[in-house]
Amino acid sequence: MAVPAQQLAPRPRVLLADDERVTRRLLEGHITRFGYDVVSVDDGLSAWNVLKTEDAPSLVVMDWAMPGLDGPEVCRRIRASPGEAYTYILLLTARATKSDVVEGLSAGADDFVSKPIDPEELQARLRTGERIVQLERTLASRLKELAATIEHVHELQDILPICIHCKRIRNQEQLWEKVESYFERRAGAKFSHALCAECLELHYPDGK
């Protein structure tokens, strides 16, 4: 039986940032048991340094109050930094007031997990984050394909120099190539040879 394509996609890694050693070890165990690879740090600055790397984890579980940089500040830095890949952020906090929620969301957090942590709730929220990350990746891929298609259309709309004798086209690399190969390479069009009515009458008047 064929395995669905979505099951073959690699699981996103999780960055865990918490300065409380016991809590961090406990969360590492839970997240590993959920099937994720975990990168663990004990302060906000270390978390930010990991997130600046090229292969940074796309899921983040991060305590609100940490030395160096707190959770909301790391969120703000993530959202302010350019990058194609989306980072899904869960803030761990004992804060429950409306103003705290507004502050965290405004800083760029996607969701909250209240302390003390319930493992089943954490797993459910990580699964939600994973789905969103996968959707963002799919959307980014589709946008790249669309941009490439638009670029090809623009190329095909350009005025193309064509040889008056052999009918070859001079492409964007200033090389001469057959009309068939030019359009096949850029538009994916396939050509088959045929005769129009005028040429059939001119070259094969007897229908032979």
pLDDT digits (tens, 9 = 90+) for 59-102: 999 999 999 899 999 999 999 987 778 899 999 988 777 888 88
Percent of the chain as helix, strand, coil, to the nearest 5: 50, 15, 40
User: What is the rounded radius of gyration, in angstroms, for the C-alpha atoms of the chain?
Assistant: 28
∠ CA 50-51-53, nearest 5°, is: 70
Residues 6+ apart with CB under 8 A from 121: 113
Six-digit token string for 101: 């929620």
Q: Domains plus CATH for the chain? A: 9-144 (3.40.50.2300), 159-203 (no CATH)
| 89 bridge partner residues | 60
Six-digit token string for 180: 């068939």
Of 46-50, 118-122, 130-134, 184-188, which gets the smallest average pLDDT? 184-188
Predicted pLDDT of residue 47: 96
- Between CA 18 and CA 92 the distance in angstroms is 9
Which helix (H) or strand (E) is 79 found in, with range? helix 71-80
The mean predicted confidence, pLDDT, of the chain is 83
* β-pairing verdict for 169-170 and 176-177: antiparallel
- Between CA 21 and CA 24 the distance in angstroms is 5
Question: Would you tell me how many other CB atoms lie within 10 Å of the CB of residue 80?
Answer: 8
pTM for this model (two decimals)? 0.65
